Chains A and B, each alone.
Chain A
Amino acid sequence: MITSDETLRIGVYVCHCGSNIAGTVDVEALTKFAEGLPHVALARHYKYMCSDPGQELVKRDIVEFGLNRIVVAACSPNLHEATFRRAAEDAGLNRFLVQIANIREQVAWVTEDRQEALEKAESHLGAAVRRVARHVPLQRQFVRIVPRAMVVGGGIAGIQAALTLAEAGREVILVEREPSIGGHMAMFDKTFPTLDCAACILTPKMTAVKLHPNIKLLTYSTVESVEGSVGNFRIKVKRKPRYIDESLCVGCMQCIDGCAFTRAKFPNAFDQGLGLRKPVWIPFPQAVPPVPVVDPEVCLQIARGKCKQGCVEACGERNAFRFDQQERIEEYEVGAVVVATGFHAFDPSVISYYGYGKYPNVYTSLEVERLLNAGGPTSGKLVLRDGSTPKRVGIIHCVGSRDANYHAYCSRVCCMYALKLAHLVREKTEAEVYNCYIDIRAAGKGFEEFYNRVQNEGVQFVRGKVADITPAAGQGTSAEGGLVMKVDDTLLGSIREINVDMVILAVALEPQADANQVRRTFGISCSAEGFFLEKHPKLAPVNTANDGVLVAGACQGAKDIPDTVAQADAAAAKALALIDAGQIELEPNTAWIEEDICSGCKTCINLCPYQAIRADEERKIAVVDPALCKGCGTCVAACPSGAARQHLFGDEQISEELEGLMNYV
């Protein structure tokens, strides 16, 4: 029902947004319409309401005409609600007496028919006027921000973000799922386009993480749950048992020599299963922390309870072994989180015509990275399964990328790392190398130059998709020997069959297998292909839908190391800006209980996801803790007696908005 409060003086402002709104919505007609609405003291339209002169207009009118409510019909409140709230406040009006009618995203940009657009805009504007009449002044509430950040994922993105934050003097907790930080970069031998040795540039950073007094490193750990919100997250971290006390281990690795298994016989996941390890192991020599882990499934002491414990003996008086270690949960309070959980390399065995998993000499790029790495399973020798050196190598681009059946997107780094591998293969083996590509995407600083260099080194480039890989004539499917790549060479215009003895598949970068779960834990979104979604693709590339949670690196989309590092620093800077602000404003739209009406039925208590409502048994009423309430309004919607109320989104405001919507159509 329209309020009869005669003191109301509502000012209405219709924004043209250049031609964005005015091109579709008749702003003059809309302003006339507004003038006729109850309690509207003044209505204007202006080219750009969000500009300084636009805001000045509102401020002047508030003072000059004694306006006490403001409605702005413009773009989404997600963009400029804050702007106009601030303008109102500057002019001495309570900032919550402002309402936005969305006539750009929800009207002008989505409607073709001008008459329909005007009607819809009138309806949204009329509703906003009716609603704002029911707004009441509110106090802004602030809470302290915990001056500490958490970084999740210890690849190059997480390492960089953690170091930047730590160097700025902030405490950082770095959580890594694997026994060591380093991520994919630690697996590579060299990096494009400069061919820097990956270890040479990464290891110092890993060590710096270990030594930095501001960084608490939690490896072999994952985030179990996240409570709270921006400024005050309470995060539970699950720490898997290493069965070795990290604080006592000095990293001498003598336990590995002492292990009852004299030979390594279990696949090392870090080496993509190409190398073998013992039950007590370390993923790679430069691992940080340099502390081994014990695999409880194969360790005789843990799995069977019986072993001569050569490891413990080798450890000697350092006495770091703890076979009774249990998984444990630790809780941390932080103000901001950087999610940097990286990517997963596409498993090409699902594309049957490439024969991965069927023909032993078909490898993934990541496997070859390990073979080329001096610290890898072959100490850097590129060899086939039988130990011989390949003489003819085929490298297939875009495996799983740019393919509607797998990933429609381009993985951005595969062309470049395929060129890098071509160079390294030739350098190490002098083999003939054939790169089969769709297009070469070498857009980056120094990339085209690197492409030219590799061409000049004699690598053969074949433009076309590989349709099939088969064993060379006379060799069965399990043969260790030669393969034939059948490729439609689009430059020659004919099908070619190229004999090779090794095939390298340049696999796509895809979201981590558990990305969906991680996304839920942190309350963020994913884009259609499954990478974490930034808040805005251009203007907020490291923020997410959940304030205080930032993203960096390949978890946000396929990218190379330089872009990853740049994004990690951006996320660190954002986290820093946030936690340095010291305090943060609470949601204004919290719930409260009208004590006289509350019957103490407790319906609301069970509905609250934050345990923000408790029962006051003495007074037989419910009580809301405003610091815990996030303002979803579920209790308000459920209260049978109407005692649960909500600031800004109360029944009175929403009902009034609804009546406005329905009245002006």
Chain B
Amino acid sequence: MSENGFKPRIVAFLCNWCSYTASDLAGTSRVKYSPRVRMIRVMCSGRVDPSFVLKAFALGADGVLIAGCHPGDCHYIEQNYKTMRRHAMLRYFLEQMGIQPERLRLVWASAAEGQYLAESIDQFVADVQKLGPLRWSGVWEDPWRREDAFDEIAAEHAEAMEVQA
């Protein structure tokens, strides 16, 4: 795969309307890109709960990609602006957790940008490759402790997001 033999494991959350369709277009146009990215379809990038990102890292992901419609083009009007805010919040939080914020990337890919999405994926894979393996989940080798650790993170996140009634 690469010079150092490291095959990154990357999770991508793709919004249904633009980025997932872009990935379909990359397929129909037979654009080749790195297979190291596994894809999850969400209806909107605004559905990406910050805890999903943390969970992905906890489960051993070396990088997480969120892809949505361009600002102003969200199928649900403006939910990707919320994604943008969460992305900023998450980068800060990841830093606190000892994860390089560069391991999380947000890209905008419209339904017509199959080629661009493929290029962005390749770029991200290359960048994560440079960062090397994360091994964050290594501290929780015991799967039960891993679940606990994850629950703890999720609880912390819930607290951080709590808004006064």
State the A residues within 8 Å of B (CB).
Answer: 1, 76-78, 102, 104-107, 109-113, 116-117, 119-120, 123-124, 127, 520, 523, 525-528, 533, 545-546, 589, 599-603, 607, 609-610, 630-634, 636-638, 640-642, 646, 649, 651, 654-655, 657-659, 661-663, 665
Contact = CB atoms under 8 A, between A and B. Distances in A.
Given A607-B82, A637-B46, A649-B47, A124 B39 contact: yes
A546 B49 CA distance: 25
Given A609-B76, A661-B11, A662-B60, A633 B163 contact: no
Contacts of A520: 72-73
B100 interface: no
A640 B161 contact: yes
The residue among B11, B47, B111 with the most chain A CB atoms within 10 A of its own CB is: B47
A523 B72 CA distance: 10
B131 interface: no
Contacts of A112: 32
Contact of B112 (A527, A607, A641, A658): A527
B165 interface: yes
B130 interface: no
A520 B94 CA distance: 34
B145 interface: no
Nearest to B39: A106
Contacts of B139: none
Contacts of B35: 107, 110-111, 113, 116-117, 119-120
A109 B52 contact: no
B82 A78 contact: no
Interface string B19-43: 0110110111011110110111111
Nearest to A536: B28
17 contacts: A76-B27, A78-B20, A106-B24, A120-B38, A525-B111, A545-B111, A601-B163, A601-B164, A607-B79, A637-B47, A637-B49, A638-B82, A638-B161, A640-B159, A649-B42, A662-B61, A665-B38
Contacts of B55: 655, 658
Contacts of A78: 20-21, 24
B118 A609 contact: no
Interface in B59-91: 59-61, 72-73, 75-79, 82, 86
B79 A658 contact: no
Given A110-B27, A662-B61, A665-B38, A609 B164 contact: no
Interface centre among B39, B75, B86 (most CB of A within 10 A): B39
Interface of B: 9, 11, 17-18, 20-21, 23-24, 26-28, 30-33, 35-36, 38-44, 46-50, 52, 55-56, 59-61, 72-73, 75-79, 82, 86, 110-112, 118, 147, 158-159, 161-165
Nearest to A607: B82
Contacts of A659: 59
B75 A637 contact: no
A178 B70 CA distance: 31
Contacts of A633: 42-44, 46-47
B155 to A, nearest CB: 10
Contacts of B147: 1
Contacts of B28: 105, 109
A632 B80 CA distance: 10
Contacts of A655: 52, 55
A105 B165 contact: no
A634 B41 CA distance: 14
- Most B-side CB within 10 Å, residue of A546, A637, A641: A637
B90 to A, nearest CB: 12
A120 B56 CA distance: 16
Contacts of B20: 76, 78
Given A76-B20, A658-B55, 20 more contacts: A77-B41, A78-B24, A102-B41, A104-B27, A106-B27, A116-B36, A520-B72, A545-B111, A546-B75, A601-B164, A602-B163, A610-B77, A633-B42, A634-B76, A634-B82, A637-B46, A642-B158, A654-B49, A661-B38, A662-B11
A633 B68 CA distance: 14
A654 B42 contact: yes
